[in-house]
Structure 1
Amino acid sequence: MKEKSTVSLPEIEGVVMGHRDGHGFVVRDDGQPDLYLPPNEMRAVLHKDRVKACIVRYDRRGRPEGRVTEILARSGSPIIGRLLHENGVWLVAPEDKRYGQDVLIPKGATGTAQPGQVVVVELTEPPALYGQPVGRVKEVLGDIDDPGMEIEIAVRKYGVPHQFSEGALAEARALPDKVRAVDRRGRVDLTDVPLVTIDGEDARDFDDAVYCEPARVGRGKGWRLLVAIADVSHYVRNGSPLDIDAYDRATSVYFPRRVIPMLPEKLSNGLCSLNPGVDRLCMVCDMLIDAKGLVQAYQFYPAVMHSHQRFTYTEVAAILQNTRGAEAQRYAAMVPHLLNLHDVYRALLAAREARGAVDLETVETRIVCDEAGRIERIEPRTRNDAHRLIEEAMLAANVCAAEFIATHHHPGLYRVHERPSADKVEILREYLKALGVPATIGDMPGPRDFQALSKATADRPDAPQIHQMLLRSMQQAMYSPHNVGHFGLAFDAYTHFTSPIRRYPDLLVHRVIKAILKGERYRLPVLPIPGEAQAKLAKRLEERGASEAMKRSRGRPSSEVLGWEAAGLHCSANERRADEASRDVEAWLKCKYMRERLGEEFAGTVTAVTSFGLFVTLDSLYVEGLVHITELGGEYFRYDERRQELRGERTGVRYTLGSKVAVQVSRVDLDGRRIDFRLVREDAAAEGRPERGSSRPGGRTPREPNAEADEVADTPPSRRAGKGGRAPSAPAPASSRGRGTASSGTGKGRRSAPRAAGAGSAAQSPVSGRGRRARPGRG
């Protein structure tokens, strides 16, 4: 690798993001557009390496292409792949195809691994311009078809901590099995209050319990709402081994049939879970809410509670729908309390409407697996009043927690959601204009503007795709000590207080509230930041944290402010990591599910349009795949970003968001987590030709389940992988990598055959009048 360039070009620092086609990108620290790296520049670097690079040219659309000038740090991430033995050479073909080279394994470095098994590799020699990387087998995971292998791969691929330290386990074992007399001191006794938990059928840990009763608020009627949250901070002490492990994880990670918890099971499913029929320690947000749904008074206090019933959403919904039905008869003593909860929910819902919170309904899906871990079916989740009741109660408690911290001028972590960027607002405005939507938005839209657009377009046949674009224009929510409000929920201050069993920011908020109640100041422990994140955090602290802190302090930010900033960035990054790992496992399962349906035909809905094709979601299975542009017929298709459509220049055939199409499953790439469709017949295009404002109402875009009340804000603006919502390009035909003696592991350890015509990358497919040539994107 060249050490330092002698060319006097400005150097840019960033992290390499490889692409399965062999090229890559430098994700720049300064937030500017990614720097494209051609395949020859990727030979001496690997995915996730930190580098310096310089811009050497721009393409005709003004996008920069670069050259690596220096490797600052090699990624410490292990590589997971299949061990192959070919022509006397041992090698590992990475499961993550963004690592563009196979890893050579010396004969004595294979350990106990057998050919074809999935292994974890530790690099001993990095790649060079004329040499492949070399490594040794560090861990054997098993055979590719072993149940749960997709999860074992994902947790290592994304660096999800999945084993607790000995110190944390020892500390957990030393904890009591139940609440002791000493633990009750200084706490309010709520054991006689009929608090209940309401969760899904498959929930194992119970963070929150609720109770409501009518109350006088001023001269009018209202309610007293109690939200009791498990007091994790009583058992997880500041800076203890348990605390360090919880901080490292930052969140629980949810997979089909398995959870990797933030805390050991003794805490997450036992001592800190509000199980029915046992006493538990809790922190309570005790609120007085008026008839308009406004919180007029609140207080926080530590308490001891006793859950009087564990309800499911289905049970509560049935009781609310029919107070004389079988479920109501079964829980007759609790029915009046549930009706009180429903009454306060309706008031809170009215207040939500009045403040202009953005509320975009989407279809959530649930994967149902068999005992072997294979998908049996994918079904939509039905949201009912019981779901919304709990969400509104949790929102109210979270807002009170944020206001409590802000009022006492104590540092803490807020859940912030900034307003949409000017670029995204402009894209949305152009899209609405192209569709002929009469309502529009200004340069600085507020939540009410989005709410008004949602309502104004609700009855249009193309409402699903309009609401999808509204969702994509949103920013991502994150954790920060700088309270800039929550745009999507229309709150001036918002935080996360209600799930300390599975989210570390909530645990920090509990500690801050306790410190304020005691008249003290909470100090963050000195917690380790994983090595891979240190450089990224340092840069972001310099650019974001320091600048924002200096605006407020008019000087150098204190170490305390920077500590909170680091905690917020770390928790936000690990939240994204958990989401990516969960999506990866679900994509694997869906690919295995669809391999059994090769050649079958389905009705589908276009859920994304790119320059290289259409992403289609099957209406009956909720599985998404790509119809490559070369499958759309023998003419030139032009991509219109404003309209989010592909239009045939000769025939005028249009494919846009929400178009209904008939497709056939043509190819499934398990390693690439990719499903390819082809149009069943040419006349299917006629269904994809809606005139302006008259698209057929297709199935709404299924999104990953998110039980959070602020799901609108926490959903990435684009469901595609890649920075800034850039859609991934289609994979290119398989080609030789490395020195020519190495092959990737597919099937029986052999490299897959080249793809059929029309299934390759948009960048590498011959146009021949059939498709639009496009520069490859990050995927």
Structure 2
Amino acid sequence: MTEQTTTPVIDPFADREAEKYDNPIPSREFILEHLAELQQPMRLGPLAQSLGIDEEDEERFEALSRRLKAMLRDGQLIKNRRGAFGLIQKMDLIKGIVTGHPDGFGFVASEQVERDLLLSAHEMHKVLHGDEVIVSIVGEDRRGRQEAAIVEVTRRANEELVGRIHIEQNLAWVHPNNNRITQDVFIPADGLLNAQEGQIVRVAIVMHPSQRHGPVGKVVEVLGDYMAPGMEIDTAIQTFNIPNKWSEELLAELAAIPSVLTEQDYADRKDLRSLPLVTIDGEDSKDFDDAVFAKRRKNGWRLVVAIADVSHYVKPGSELDKEAYERGNSVYFPQRVIPMLPEKLSNDLCSLNPNVDRVCMVCDMSITEDGQLERSQFYQAVMNSKARLTYNQVHQMVTDSSSAFRAEFAEVVDAVDQLYELYHILHAARAERGALEFDTVETRIVFDGERKIDKIIPVVRNDAHRLIEECMLMANVAAARYLKWHKLPIVYRVHEPPKEEKLTKLRGFLKDFGLSLEGGDEPSAQDFDQVLQAAQGMPSEHLIKTIMLRSMNQAVYQPDNKGHFGLNFEHYAHFTSPIRRYPDLLIHRAIRQAWLKQGAQGFAYNEEDMTRMGRHCSDTERRADEATRDAVTFLKCEFLSHRLGEEYDAVISSVTNFGMFVELDPLYIEGLVHVTELGEDYFHFDAVRHCLKGERTGKVYRIGDRVKVQVAQVVLDTRKIDLRLINKPADEVLVVENDSDDFDNPVSEQEGEGEAKKKRRSRSRSRPNNRKRRTRSKAKND
């Protein structure tokens, strides 16, 4: 047997490790590279020798052992049955995050594979939604999806859960509020903390699930009674782990900030206090982070967008910065906001309130006569807003020459008129550019005195909303272009084109309506817009727009600039809302760095940081969406629970193999009409044409069709609404020429897995009101 000798190994990251440790060992990166070169798993001893560490050097040997254990914990390595450390990818293993499904099965999302891997209900017994796992692929299900088995759980995502407690005799358990967690948490008798049957509680997990047992926990807080006003928001905050408390250290830091501008705040700033800048926001807005001004020039326009200078107060590494990053964004619940920044900043110092001096970051743009961004400059300034205007006030001012608001705001009416004139030019340029616009309805909940839903009303967008939107779009484009030229690492707002698979299916769908999507493998937004224009006035216009919208990807934050497909911009970043979005704050810091003319040198962040922070901010954005949807859905279910048996006109919003979801016309609430409610026939789901067709009668139910339904059942715990079809219109029969069944479920390809289970239960099911994703930008939320 040949004796192994210790040979010196050069670690390219040695300098970094030497800065951290007195007696450094090889870095994680080098250990991974070294194992890849060895092309075999290695036990601790031989691996240490190959890395130049002798077992007699106890301190370094122990440090290496601890590092390898940490790499196991973080999923960078895995240990086989012989105790040898190896690379996950070399062992045909995949690391990913678990996504649970309400029907008990789940998926593993991983950057190593293009499509999510399926976890059976049996495998899901070992984990909870959000856990990080290492899995192996064990086969395919009947739909051709790859199935995985869990090899190891590397990180538990749920140390605490929120749910409703149930107590029967000597047994107690908590049903989690998050419907992606289907396992109840067992509560021992000594862990009840005086909780009563049916209350909402916060539970600490003391034993995570395994193959042999489910999760075990103890009650650490009783949040309140199930139906208490506002409980739906408190529950959503806890369920989705939304930070909502300020630390003592942060409050101390905040108290040290002067409540008014000091002489130092004015230093090195351009004075814009005489410029008639105005804010235009909603009636109930409290934080005003943007002000606008426009003026016609000889050969075009000057557009000034002034944004609250949050970066002046929130410095990198400060307690304010750490908390803002953790939150990622403000979360807007009905009648309640969880802000990204404390009120002293969000509603005061960083809010461009009227008739007070405020520091701001300015994007000063030159716009051509045809609405193109010609050039821009950025500078820090001090401003004084001349008016706090609402969308409705501005709309009346610009559309009604006799409006009383024109006299009330006489000081700024000329500036508003010029803004409106510029808006028409920018809007025409948008249409010429082919930016996508999908007509969707936003709603607002009106509460009664007991904070229960009184009514749900649509929010009408007018030209004032669109005016602000176009101004913000221009500023965001200017910021992205400016920082791209300065070669600074930033997070762009990226909306990628639809993937090839979705394009193929979309083209197959459009073909039935005599429509074609041009552009080959890489169609542009203009190509999509041409289809939307061609569909206008067609009987199936609503269906076509809905399916095209569902083919779109979700916008994300990332340092790799891939443009914004929906808006048809080559460069796009979020600059205009640093009070409520952390990525905008990062952009402001980058712009300030650009002023120093140092490029990336000395900048607080590198590309790796931006990748990490972009992913985090994308996650917090989705977290906020899920939390607000959960709260609103509960409120809507509670509202309908008092209206069992009532009848409503409705429109079909989506179709699946187990039924169709319909939206109740006057309420904007969605529920399920199960396939068994459609009549005495066998109804088959056509995934390509997004319809259900009766085998005997030929009746067809498609997206956009109108029906009449009755509220049959509402289950508050699971946010489910069951509807009964009370009229079955004789729809025109759709002739099916293609029996292809390769089009994914239009709602979610995850929906169909539990269908056999649903049929065995023989009862109707529903889902929360998942509003259609919008690619058209909301004002100031593009």
TM-score tier by shorter-chain length is 0.7 to 0.9
Cα distance change of structure 1 residues 40 and 587 upon mapping to structure 2, 3 Å threshold: same
Give the aligned partner of residue 342 of structure 1. Answer: 420
* Alignment partner of 1:369 is 2:447: yes
What are the superposed Cα offsets for residues 583-624 of structure 1, whole Å, 9 maximum, x if unpaired?
Answer: 111111111111111111111111111111111111111111
Tell me the alpha carbon deviations over residues 424-460 of structure 1, each in whole angstroms, 9 at most, x when there is no partner: 1111111111223366553220111011111111121
What is the aligned partner in structure 2 of residue 84 from structure 1? 166
Q: Which has the larger radius of gyration?
A: 2
Q: CA-to-partner distance for each residue in 1:523-572, whole Å, 9 max, x for gaps? A: 8998xxxxxxxxxxxxxxxxxxxxxxxxxxxxxxxx92211111111111
Distance 1:501 1:523 in 2: 27
1:619 counterpart residue number: 665
Structure 2 residue aligned with 1:234: 312
Aligned match of 2:540: 462
Partner of 1:114: 196
Contact 1:413 1:505 in 2 (8 A): yes
* 1:277 match: 355
Task: Letter of the 2:552 partner, please give it.
Answer: M
Aligned pairs for 1:62-211 within 5 A:
62-211=144-293
CA distance in 1, matches of 2:653, 2:126: 37
2:690 counterpart of 1:685:
no
Quickly say closer, same or farther: Cα 1:33–1:630, change in 2 above 3 A.
farther
Contact kept in structure 2, 1:77 and 1:159, CA below 8 Å: no
User: 3-state DSSP class of the match of 1:444?
Assistant: coil
Match of 2:119, as an amino acid? L
Within the alignment, does 1:759 sit opposite 2:764 as a pair? Answer: yes
Structure 1 pair 61/761, CA: closer, same or farther in 2 (3 Å)? farther
Report the equivalent of 1:59.
141
Distance 1:596 1:128, change over 3 A: same
Please show how residues 643-658 of structure 1 align to structure 2 within 5 Å.
Answer: 643-658=689-704
Select the residue among 492, 506, 517 that pairs with 1:414: 492
The 3-state SS of whatever aligns with 1:237 is coil
The equivalent residue for 1:579 is: 625
Give the letter aligned to residue 527 of structure 2. Answer: D
Are the equivalent residues in 2 in contact too, given 1:732–1:761 (CA < 8 A)? Answer: no
Note if contact 1:661-1:679 (Cα within 8 Å) is conserved in structure 2: yes
Alpha-carbon distance in 2 for matches of 1:760, 1:278: 55
What is residue 131 of structure 2 aligned with on the other side? 49
Q: Are 2:98 and 2:108, in contact at CA under 8 Å, matched by a contact in 1?
A: yes
Aligned-residue identity in percent: 47
Distance 1:341 1:562, change over 3 A: same
The answer on whether the counterparts of 1:606 and 1:661 sit within 8 Å (CA) in structure 2 is: yes
C-alpha separation in 2, matches of 1:523 and 1:362:
45
Post-superposition CA distance 1:125-173 (Å, at most 9, x none): 1223343322111222111112111111111211111112222222112
- Equivalent residues in 2 for 1:291-690 (5 A)? 291-437=369-515, 442-521=520-599, 560-681=606-727, 684-686=728-730, 688-689=731-732
Q: Which moved more, 1:129-138 or 1:499-508?
A: 129-138
**Alpha-carbon contact 2:274-2:384 (below 8 Å) kept:** yes
Residues 733 and 447 from structure 1, CA distance in 2 versus in 1: closer, same or farther, beyond 3 angstroms?
closer
Q: Deviations over 1:349-370 (max 9, x none)?
A: 1221222212222222222223
Q: What do residues 389-436 of structure 1 show as CA deviations (whole Å, max 9, x unaligned)?
A: 000000111111111101111211111111111111111111111223
CA–CA separation in structure 1 for the residues paired with 2:709 and 2:754: 20
1:650-694, CA deviations, whole angstroms, 9 ceiling, x for partnerless residues?
11111111111111111112121221111113xx232x446589x
In the alignment, the residues of structure 2 paired with residue 607 and residue 249 of structure 1 have an alpha-carbon distance, to the nearest angstrom, of 33
Deviation readout 1:451-474 (Å, 9 max, x if unpaired): 111111112122122111221111
Q: Displacement, 1:518? A: 2.2
Q: Secondary structure at the match of 2:393?
A: helix
Task: Decide whether aligned partners of structure 1 residues 381 and 72 sit closer, same or farther in structure 2, where only a CA change above 3 A counts.
Answer: same
Specify the SS of the correspondent of 2:244.
coil
State how far apart, in whole Å, the 2-side matches of 1:371 and 1:449 are. 50
SS at match of 1:418: coil
What CA distance in whole angstroms lies between the structure 1 residues aligned with 2:750 and 2:576?
Answer: 30
CA distance in 2, matches of 1:58, 1:484: 33
Q: 2:764 corresponds to which letter in structure 1?
A: A
State whether residues 163 and 176 of structure 2, in contact with CA within 8 Å, keep that contact through their aligned partners in structure 1: yes
Per-residue deviation, residues 216-248 of structure 1 (Å, max 9, x unmatched): 23xxxx221111000000000111000000001
Of residues 493-502 and 159-168 in structure 1, the stretch that sits farther from structure 2 once superposed is 159-168
Task: Provide the rounded CA distance (Å) in 2 between the counterparts of 1:430 and 1:664.
Answer: 35
CA distance in 2, matches of 1:383, 1:510: 29
Contact 2:278 2:293 in 1 (8 A): yes
Q: Distance in 2 between matches of 1:65 and 1:718?
A: 18
Question: 1:761: Cα distance to partner?
Answer: 9.4
Contact 1:242–1:263 (CA under 8 A) maintained in structure 2: yes
CA contact (8 A) 2:170 2:189 kept: no
491-500 vs 369-378, greater mean Cα deviation:
369-378
Q: 1:514 and 1:611 mapped to 2: Cα distance?
A: 54
Shift of 1:28: 4.0
Native 8 Å contact 1:666 1:676 kept in 2: yes
TM-score by length of 1: 0.82
| CA distance 1:257–1:412, shift in 2 (3 Å) | same
In structure 2, C-alpha distance between the alignment counterparts of 1:303 and 1:760, rounded to whole Å: 56
Q: How does 1:699-738 map to 2 (within 5 A)?
A: 720=747
Cα distance in 1 between the residues matched to 2:752 and 2:711: 21
The alignment partner of 2:412 has SS state of helix
The alpha-carbon deviation at position 64 of structure 1 amounts to 3.1
Aligned 8 A contact 2:656 2:745 in 1: no
SS in 2 for 1:426: helix
What CA deviation, in whole Å up to 9, does each residue of 1:95-141 have, x standing for no partner?
22432322222222222433332111111112233433221112221
Letter in 1 for 2:709: V
Structure 2 CA distance for aligned equivalents of residues 620 and 524 of structure 1: 57
Compared CA separation, residues 731 and 515, structure 1 to 2 (3 A):
farther
In structure 2, relative to structure 1, the CA distance for the partners of 1:98 and 1:483 (3 Å cut) is closer
Residue 759 of structure 1 aligns with an amino acid whose one-letter code is: S
Counterparts in 2 of 1:260 and 1:525: CA distance versus 1, 3 Å? farther
CA contact (8 A) 1:225 1:287 kept: yes
Query: Which of the numbers 254, 272, 287 marks the counterpart of 2:332?
Result: 254
Q: For 1:514 and 1:644, how far apart are their aligned partners in 2?
A: 50
From 78, 88, 97, give the equivalent of 1:15.
97
Partner of 2:64: none
Of residues 269, 289, 294, the one that matches 1:212 is 294
Q: Is the 8 A contact 2:376 2:478 kept in 1?
A: yes
What amino acid does structure 2 have at the position aligned with 1:508?
A: L
Give the 3 Å change call, closer, same or farther, for CA 357–42 of structure 1 in structure 2.
Answer: closer
Q: 1:40 to 1:61 in 2, by over 3 A?
A: closer
- Identify the range of structure 1 (127-136 vs 468-477) with the bigger mean alpha-carbon deviation: 127-136
Matched position secondary structure for 2:99: strand
Q: Which amino acid aligns with 2:681?
A: E
Residues 425, 649 of structure 1: CA spacing in aligned structure 2 closer, same or farther, 3 A cutoff? same
The secondary structure found in structure 1 opposite 2:236 is helix
